[in-house]
A and B are shown apart, each in its own frame.
Chain A
């Protein structure tokens, strides 16, 4: 019985996800986020952002990128990523599918306001660029001891 319910739940969520995507396509991304600098869903590269009390982590899913071609800058809490992925396929071949992105890209991400632009760390591994920005200490939750 329980198993059946979970199955049903999954189905409902799948439907919601599909509906959300369709709505996004029709109306633009209004469902949360929709920042003035946000990019179209499905743009290269895909980005995930996570926050913990100590730092903000940005994961950029950018396969096949030359890290040297990447230009990352952080101005206050605005993170700008720019780069180019070259089309390395040989000429004079017959293409059946060309879904992979090639060309230049630029994305601007608004991070939480308490990030410290002087404490940024970036590394690129297996096609994922991980940028970690520390948050200022003042805003970290502090344990208050009762004496």
Chain B
């Protein structure tokens, strides 16, 4: 008897957790590195600066944004490539990046993040003297 009860509460909790689990769009990204750091660009059309969240938690970087598109009332969808309005993607950072110096810019729906490397870890070219 108590077992069934427990299963029921467990099932309800499961369902609740699943209902809260929204569907997110995965933004397309470009990631490249130069000697000073890493640059990440993400396409998030419809997301304005104030609806964008960039969060660093330990070595986890999460980008999230809500696209705001004003649609007239009573609109009926004829065709849709995009059926969700929330973007989300996360990345694991490595320790040589200075997480408190991350710079974020949002322009025309493209997020650009600059993740600089720690100064002491930037590669230094070693000159070989001949002679």
A53 on the interface (CB 8 Å rule)? yes
A100 on the interface (CB 8 Å rule)? yes
A-B contact count (CB 8 A): 136
For A30, list chain B residues within 8 Å (CB). none
Query: Are B16 and A51 closer than 8 Å at their CB atoms?
Result: no
For A130, list chain B residues within 8 Å (CB). 69
- Main secondary structure on chain B at its contact with chain A? mixed
A127 on the interface (CB 8 Å rule)? yes
Q: How far is the CB of A62 from chain B (nearest CB, A)?
A: 6
Query: Are B34 and A65 closer than 8 Å at their CB atoms?
Result: no
B19 on the interface (CB 8 Å rule)? yes
Query: Are B30 and A98 closer than 8 Å at their CB atoms?
Result: yes
A48 on the interface (CB 8 Å rule)? yes
Q: What 0/1 pattern do residues 41 to 70 of B give for CB contact below 8 A with A? A: 101111110000000000000000001110
Complex: A3 Cα to B26 Cα, angstroms: 27
Which one of A10, A11, A50, A126 contacts B75 once the chains associate, using CB atoms below 8 Å?
A50
Query: Are B72 and A52 closer than 8 Å at their CB atoms?
Result: yes
Complex: A123 Cα to B107 Cα, angstroms: 15
Query: Are A99 and B79 closer than 8 Å at their CB atoms?
Result: no
Query: Are B69 and A128 closer than 8 Å at their CB atoms?
Result: yes
Query: Are A99 and B30 closer than 8 Å at their CB atoms?
Result: yes
A78 on the interface (CB 8 Å rule)? no
Query: Are A48 and B77 closer than 8 Å at their CB atoms?
Result: yes
Query: Are A57 and B45 closer than 8 Å at their CB atoms?
Result: no
Query: Are A50 and B77 closer than 8 Å at their CB atoms?
Result: yes
Complex: A84 Cα to B67 Cα, angstroms: 23
Query: Are A63 and B30 closer than 8 Å at their CB atoms?
Result: no
Give chain B's interface residues, CB within 8 Å of chain A: 11-12, 14-16, 18-19, 28-34, 39, 41, 43-48, 67-69, 71-82, 107-110
**18 A–B contacts from the bound complex (CB under 8 Å):** A4-B12, A6-B15, A7-B14, A7-B15, A8-B15, A49-B78, A53-B74, A61-B46, A63-B45, A63-B109, A64-B110, A92-B34, A94-B33, A96-B31, A96-B33, A99-B28, A100-B29, A127-B44
Name 5 extra pairs, CB < 8 A, besides A6-B19, A63-B43: A7-B14, A61-B81, A61-B82, A90-B32, A95-B31
Give chain A's interface residues, CB within 8 Å of chain B: 3-4, 6-8, 10-11, 33, 41, 45-57, 59, 61-65, 89-90, 92-101, 109, 112, 124, 126-128, 130
